[in-house]
Amino acid sequence: MTKTILITGGSKGIGLACAQAFAAEGAKIAICSRSQVNIDEALKSLPGAFGFAADLTDADAAATMLAAVEQKFGAIDVLINSAGAARRSPPAELTPEFYRAAMDAKFFSYINVIDPLVKRMAARGQGVIINIIGAGGKVASPVHVAGGAANAALMLVTAGLGTAYAAQGVRVVGISPGLTETGRVAEGMVSDARLAGITVEEARARAIARIPLGRMASPEDIANAAVFLASEKASYITGITITMDGASSAVVV
């Protein structure tokens, strides 16, 4: 049976790489993005895929998107959450409103899709949810405190729901990329450079120098892990977030 894969944030970066990787496996692909323009561009590389524009910080919009995907393809077998990213900021510029915006952008854009869908998966007795989170949830960065807090919350949700729904046949797993060659990371380098008083090129070189593997991840690196984690070969993996940061954080998990 061909599986249906929903990728939020599937029009660019890691999300698009995931959509392309699952499409190569023969899956039915649905992608979601806030921008219809970005969806239209992404669909050029995803023959037969379905795209739906929605702001997932709005729970009603997320519910409408899920209904549209299910009407098109039927039950969703795998959810890849890759939508939304919190803006980075020097610590002195943080405000309560900034923290709230970060939670909306990164946390609730995931929760508004996870909450209704995990319950449907549990009722069917099967399903996989993979949350693309971010290393900032485990290793604090001065310019990513608000977004890191949202990421840490998602790691807890991943562990908690993985435990809560394991007996009902639903797996919930996180992937926590370190620096990855995406537009979001490029934007983050601007904040890093401003805080350090250096050029963006210098900030990028310093960042790569701290990665033992000697390079940032590619979006395809993350997508390959997602394909594995969604497969039967990973059927005993749930309730955990796997760090993919090129050994930047030498910690025991």
The CATH number assigned to the domain holding 87 equals 3.40.50.720
- Determine the angle formed by the axes of helices 13-24 and 219-230, rounding to 10 degrees: 50
Which residues, other chains included, contact 123 with Cβ-Cβ below 8 Å and sequence gap of 6+? none
Residue 252 covered by a domain: no
CA distance 89 to 75: 39
Q: Is residue 183 part of a domain?
A: yes
Predicted confidence at residue 7, as pLDDT, reads 98
Residue 249 in domain: no
Dig out the tokens for 109 from the structure: 């854009």
- How many independent structural domains does the chain possess? 1
Encode pLDDT of 20-67 as tens digits: 999 999 999 999 999 999 999 999 999 999 999 999 999 999 999 999
Strands (E), the chain: 4-8, 28-33, 50-53, 78-81, 127-132, 170-177, 240-244
**Span 218-227, mean pLDDT?**
97
DSSP one-letter string for 28-78 = EEEEEES-HHHHHHHHTTSTT-EEEE--TTSHHHHHHHHHHHHHHHSS--E
Q: Is 70 exposed, middle or buried (0-12, 13-18, 19+ CB in 10 A)?
A: middle
Residue 51 is assigned to a structural domain of this protein: yes
Which domain, by its residues, includes 119?
4-242
* pLDDT confidence bin for 252, thresholds 50/70/90: low
Is residue 159 assigned to a domain? yes
In a domain, 247, yes or no: no
Q: Are the C-beta atoms of residues 65 and 109 closer than 8 Å to each other?
A: no
Beta carbons of 190 and 198 less than 8 angstroms apart? no
Backbone φ and ψ for 233, nearest 5 degrees, come out as -65, -20
Model pTM? 0.91
pLDDT in tens, 89-105: 777 788 888 889 989 99
- Of 72, 31, 20, 70, nearest to 54 (Cα)? 31
